[in-house]
Amino acid sequence: MKYAAGIDVGSTQSKAVLIDLARAVVARTLIDTGANVKRAGQRALDNLLKESGIPREQVGFVIGTGYGRYKIEAGDDQVTEISCHARGAQMLFPATRTVIDMGGQDTKAIKVGPDGDVVDFSMNDKCAAGTGRFLAGAADVLGLTLDEIGEISLTGTKPIRLTSVCTVFVESDILSHLAQKQKVEDILAGVHQAIASRTISLVRRVGREEEVTFTGGVARNIGMVRALEEKLDVSVNVSPDSQFTGAIGAALYAMDRVLAGDAEAAAVSDEDTVWVDE
C-alpha cells in the first residue's frame, strides 16, 4: 500500500494522478471523458497504472472528484472538486490562501486554510453567467479557439462594454459590436474584463488573502490571468499542472486515508452506505 490515486472526471476531460507515501506525484494522465462517464473513471485509472507500471494492489485508496464523481466505480470514495482544488492548489503553492477555479459551468472562489482545508467558498449563483462557458461562446462567434482568445485580448486597447455576462446573449452582443466595426481584440479584452470583475465579486465574498492561485481549464488562458491580476492588483499563481489540481487534491485526500486508516478515517467515511438518488 505505497500509493494513493485521485481521479477527476470532468464533463470534457478526465484526469488521474498517483502519489506516493511522501505525497509526491509519481504519475499523471489525461483522457477525454467521452460519452460514458462510468468508463472514463476506470480508463483514467488504468492508463495511470499502465504508464506508471504500478500494480493496482499497490494503490491503497482511490478518491474520485468532479461532476462525474458519483459514477466512478473504480473509486473507493468521492470528494467534491471544491475541497480537492483547495487541497491540490495548496500543495502546488503551499502559501496559497485563496483559490480561484474557473470551469465550464462553475466559477469558484475558495478560502484555503494552512493545510489545504476549505475555510469558506463561494460559487456563481443559480445563473451560470460569467463562467468559462461564456468564453467558449465568445470564441465561437468570433471563429477563434479558446487558446487563441486569451493572447488576442491582451492586444486590446479600448475594451468594449458588455450588456451582461449571460452566455445566451454573448453572441448577439458581440455581433452588434462587430456590426459597429469594433476591433476583435477590444471585444475580447472587454469579454475577459467582464468575467474577471464577476469573478472578483466571488473572491470578495470569501475575503481575499494572498497568495492567490488560479486553477481549472481557463487558467491556461493568459488573458484571463492578466485580467484577474489587474483587478486583484497582485500576481496570481498558475501551475503548468493547473488542470490536474483537482486530481492531485483527490489523491492527497486518498493518501490521508492510506496513512491514517484510523479514527480520523472512521470519522470521515461510512463505507457501509451509498448515495441514493431520489
Partner 1 sequence: MRTTVAEDKDYRGKVHQLSRDIMTDWMTELKDATKSPTPSAYMMISGNCVEILRCFDILPVFPEVNALQLAIRKQSLPYIIKSEEIGYASDNCAYVKADVGYTMCGGVGENGNIPVPDFIVCNFVGCNVYIKWFEHCASMFDVPMIMLDIPFVREDGPSTDDVKYVMTQLKELIAHCEKLTGKKFDIDRLREVLGYSARAERGWSRCKELCKRKPTPFDAYFDSINMMGPINALRGSKVAADFFDQVVEQYEGMVSDGMGVLEDERFRIVFEGPPPYPYYRNFRNLFEAWGAVAVQSTYSTVGGTWEFGFTHDPERPLESIAEQMIIHNLCNRSMIERYAQIQSYVDEYDADALVIHSIKSCRLFSAGQGDMREYFTKDRGVPTLMVESDLEDPRYYAEAQMKNRIDAFFEALTYKRIRGKATA
Partner 2 sequence: MPYIAGIDLGAGATKTVVIDGDHRVLGHGFCRTQADFDKVAQTSLDAACKEAGLERNQVDYIASTGLGRYSLTERDIQITDLTCGARGAHKLFPDAGFVLDMGAQSTRAISLRDGGKVKTFRTNEKCAAGSGGFLERISRYLEISVDQIGSLSLEATDPQPISSVCAVLAESEIINHVSEGKSVADILCGAHQSLAERALSQLRMAGLAGPVVFIGGVALQEGMVKACRDRFGFEVLVPKHPSHVVAYGAAILGLQRYHKREASTAIA
Partner 3 sequence: MSTEAILERCRALLEMMPGEALTEARKTHPDIGGLAVFPLYAPFEVIHAAGLMPVGMFGAGEQVEISHADSRFQSFICSIAKSTLELFLRGDMKSFEGAVFSSICDVARNLSSLVKRNTPDLYIEYLHLPQNMDSAGSLGYTRAEFARFRDNLSARVGRPITDEAIAESTKIYNRVRSLMRDLYDHRMRHSGAIAASDVCTVIRAGTRMMPEDFIPLLEALLDQVKSTPSHPRDGVPVVIEGSFCEQPPLALIDVIEAAGCLIKDDDMVIGWRLFRQDIPSNGPAMDPLGALAEAYLKHSVYTSVRYDRAKPRTEGLMDRMKDSGADAVVFAPAKFCEPALLDYVLFRKKLDEKGVPHLKIEFEEKMWTFEASRTELETFAESMLFD
Q: Which residues bind partner 1 (CB under 8 A)?
A: 67, 77-83, 105-106, 115, 117-121, 123, 125-126, 205-207, 263-264, 267-271, 273-276, 278
- Residue 26's φ and ψ, nearest 5 degrees, are -105, -20
Min dist CB 147 to partner 2, Å, is: 17
CB of 173 to partner 2, least distance (A): 11
> Residue 267 is placed in which grid cell?
470519522
The Cα 194–Cα 199 span in angstroms is: 9
Cell readout for 221 is 488562458
Q: What is the identity of the amino acid at 172?
A: S
Query: Which 188-247 positions form the footprint of partner 2 (CB under 8 A)?
Result: none
Q: Which three cell numbers stand for residue 56?
A: 493496482
- The residue range among 148-156, 178-186, 211-219, 234-242 that interacts with partner 2, by the rule CB under 8 A, is 178-186
Q: Where are the alpha helices (DSSP H) in 94-156?
A: 132-142, 146-154
Q: Report if residue 172 touches partner 2, rule: CB under 8 A.
A: yes
38 binds, among partner 3, partner 2, partner 1, none (CB under 5 to 8 A by kind): partner 2
Task: Give every CB contact of residue 260 below 8 A, 6+ residues apart in sequence.
Answer: none
Q: What's the min distance (Å) between Cβ of 65 and partner 2? A: 15
274 scored as a contact of partner 2 (CB under 8 A): no
CB 211, CB 246: distance < 8 Å: no
Q: State the Cα angle at 259 between 256 and 263, rounded to 5°.
A: 80
Pick the closer one to partner 2 by CB: 71 or 208: 71
In eight-state DSSP terms, residue 220 is: G
For 183, other C-beta atoms within 10 Å of its C-beta total 16
Q: How far is the CB of 221 from partner 1 (least distance, A)?
A: 23
Residue 278 binds: one of partner 3, partner 2, partner 1, none (C-beta under 5 to 8 A by kind): partner 1
Contacts with partner 2 by CB under 8 A lie at 11, 35-38, 67-68, 71, 104-105, 127-129, 131, 133, 142-143, 166-169, 171-172, 175-176, 178-179, 184
